[in-house]
A and B are shown apart, each in its own frame.
Chain A
């Protein structure tokens, strides 16, 4: 197990390395001087451009720049942003907290709604509730988050005025974006839960447990739940990583001050340090989560042996 973790961590570094190299090269071939302009139509004073290029080492060849980036990254330093000239980590940190808040809220919604709905649908198969849940989850998959977000905004903010349009990080302003982010995953979790649970219920060991005369409760909790939850855990682990992608849209719609919105803006402004910072971080989290999920998987399913 220990060796497995070390091997995986090693792979993770390779992936991270590959991703940042790709990103660095990509940004390097973009037209336009990263410190060449101000916010509007005006060009920057050539003297200022020269000073900033010198300060941020933009005149160095790409491998040198990349080397410096890696060296700084190892010390937890993502460099300075070119506009406000503040450390990228300082700029991103509060945004990261905001995105994490949103993602955790979404995951909680996924678990509560998804698992419950899947459970009900599976236990009361072919009942009214099963049909309803199956239908709802099927349709939910078809609604892209930007459509859901705009519909929620239209009804709950513009028409009913129940929630503020300006997200200020409070719980109240978090509800709509969290739901928008969660709906698709909640639906998929419900479908997944229903599917695996039906399979598990048919499995021999459950039949044996029931035949042994174990109480229904024990069978459900110890055997059925434990085995049905594995794919859900996998799925949630993955989706926590992909939530970053989802957060891009959700944060843009609800103006949530997270790293997704920061990325969208940085792309518009070609603010390379922010782009690199967000993407590097996103990829690292994604890869790390995959590892955790795999480990958890092994814990939950004793048949899996990691090597």
Chain B
């Protein structure tokens, strides 16, 4: 082990790094997935996580049906109403219904969380696969590029990009992805490095399989487990990062019903109208926990040795 992957622990999923060194050959995929599902469902926290994530997706999909009010509707005659009565979670400084804003906030969270991680994985998998399989010069160059992006602490890098692109959903997604992909690349690359020499790959090569076929049919499926667990975990992190950006005043526009915005606006009322920041906080915490549980469950299910 001469190359050290500094990313592994940084992602908060330290154990995933070395995952599929001895994963079963891809031939048994169907039964393998069945078993993974079985192991996942046996994990109580993972199931709780799945339920939370399901509810979140449901809220995001059916927000217009679920929300009692238009999240942007201002009622200046009824500002800062305490929770209860017509407004279950109260109203904000512009008289907007908090519950509706939280429900609509799920949309932004889901869109930004999924889109940014999907984008990060896409970039990361491509670059990581190339680097890991070809090694040598290509590996070296690609990994130095990854280093540059990795060297920017996420929030700082994201802020820099948003300064340039302006506030909004797309800039937030892009900025989160641009500084997250190196982790994916490193995960994939390090697991490819170990898979590359695995018996079944050697066997496939001996049987005359081409490079592309080996990468697509054998290496990626067996290395992807680490990436998937990371991705599930990271959706939560991305949602937190996105809320943090809004909290710092550089995320999506302040009029958008988004949890970080609500928190940021509610912060001025700390100790006076605490419900303004407490409810959006709960929404964020539950969401993150949901994804963490799912991520943990997935990791354990994919690699039972680790627990």
A contact residues vs B (CB 8 Å cutoff): 11, 14-16, 18-19, 22-23, 26-27, 29-30, 138-139, 141-147, 150-151, 153-154, 158-159, 188, 192, 195, 231, 234-235, 238-239, 241-242, 244-245, 248-249, 252, 263-264, 267-268, 270, 275, 278-279, 282-283, 286-287, 290, 293-294, 297, 303-307
Q: Are A263 and B156 touching (Cβ within 8 A)?
A: yes
Given contacts A142-B288, A235-B9, A264-B248, contact A154 B148 (CB under 8 A): no
Are A241 and B160 CB-contacts (below 8 A) given A139-B289, A142-B289?
no
Query: Is B10 engaged at the interface, CB distance under 8 Å to the other chain?
Result: yes
- Interface SS majority for chain A: helix
The contact sample of 27 A-B pairs, CB cut-off 8 A, is A14-B144, A19-B148, A26-B160, A144-B243, A144-B285, A150-B277, A150-B281, A151-B281, A153-B270, A192-B14, A231-B9, A231-B14, A234-B6, A234-B8, A234-B9, A242-B153, A245-B156, A248-B155, A249-B155, A249-B244, A267-B163, A279-B156, A282-B153, A283-B151, A286-B153, A293-B6, A304-B4
Residues of B within 8 A of A144 (CB): 240, 243-244, 284-285, 288
Give residues of chain B (90-114) contacting chain A, Cβ–Cβ below 8 Å.
Answer: none
* Interface SS majority for chain B: helix
A19 touches B248 (CB 8 A): no
A-B pairs, 5 with minimum CB distance: A245-B153, A142-B289, A158-B271, A18-B148, A235-B9
Closest to B160 in A: A26
Q: How far is the CB of B194 from chain A (nearest CB, A)?
A: 15
For chain B, residues 124 to 160, give those with C-beta under 8 angstroms from any C-beta of chain A: 144-145, 147-148, 151-156, 159-160
Contact indicator per residue, chain B 13-24, by CB within 8 Å of chain A (1) or not (0): 011000000000
Q: Which residue of A lies closest to B236 (CB)?
A: A142
Cβ of B263 within 8 Å of any chain A Cβ, yes or no, is yes
Residue of B nearest to A306 (CB): B2
Contacts of A11 in B (CB 8 A): 144, 147
Q: In the complex the two chains form, is B271's CB within 8 Å of A146's CB?
A: no
A267 to B6, CA, bound (A): 29
Expressed in whole angstroms, the Cα–Cα distance for A125 and B293 within the complex equals: 21
Residue contact B6 to A15, C-beta cutoff 8 Å: no
Measured between alpha carbons, how far is A188 from B8 in the docked complex, in Å?
A: 13
Q: How far is the CA of A22 from the CA of B149 in the complex (A)?
A: 10
B163 shortest CB reach to chain A, Å: 6
Q: What chain A residues lie within 8 Å of B240 (beta carbons)?
A: 144
**Tally of contacts, chain A with chain B, CB under 8 A:** 144
The residues of B that contact A27 with a CB separation of less than 8 Å are: 163
B4 near A294: Cβ-Cβ < 8 Å: yes
* Interfacial chain A residues near B218, Cβ < 8 Å: none
B292 located at the interface, meaning its Cβ lies under 8 Å from any Cβ of chain A in the complex: yes
B292 touches A141 (CB 8 A): yes
Tell whether, in the assembled complex, residue B248 and residue A249 are in contact, meaning their CB atoms are under 8 Å apart. yes
Alpha-carbon distance A306/B1, docked complex (angstroms): 9
- Are the CB atoms of A154 and B274 closer together than 8 Å? yes
Residues of B within 8 A of A239 (CB): 10
Contact with A along B252-288 (1 / 0, CB 8 A): 0000000000010001001100100100010011101
- A283 and B152 in contact (CB under 8 A), knowing A15-B144, A26-B163, A154-B274? yes
A218 CB → nearest B CB, Å: 27
B292-A238 in contact (CB<8A): no
Evaluate contact between A19 and B164: CB separation under 8 angstroms.
no
Q: Is B306 an interface residue (CB 8 A)?
A: yes
Question: What is the distance, in angstroms, from A114's C-beta to the closest C-beta of chain B?
Answer: 13
A106 to chain B, nearest CB (A): 15
| A142 proximity list for chain B (CB < 8 A) | 236, 285-286, 288-289, 292
The distance in angstroms between the C-alpha atoms of A147 and B244, with both chains bound, is 10
Chain B hits for A283, CB < 8 A: 151-152
Q: Is the CB of A15 within 8 A of B147?
A: yes
CB distance from B160 to the nearest CB of A (A): 6
Residues of A within 8 A of B181 (CB): none
Could you tell me the distance between the alpha carbons of A68 and B289 in the complex, rounded to whole angstroms?
Answer: 48
A248: chain B residues at CB < 8 Å are 153, 155-156, 248
B250 sits at the interface (CB 8 A): yes
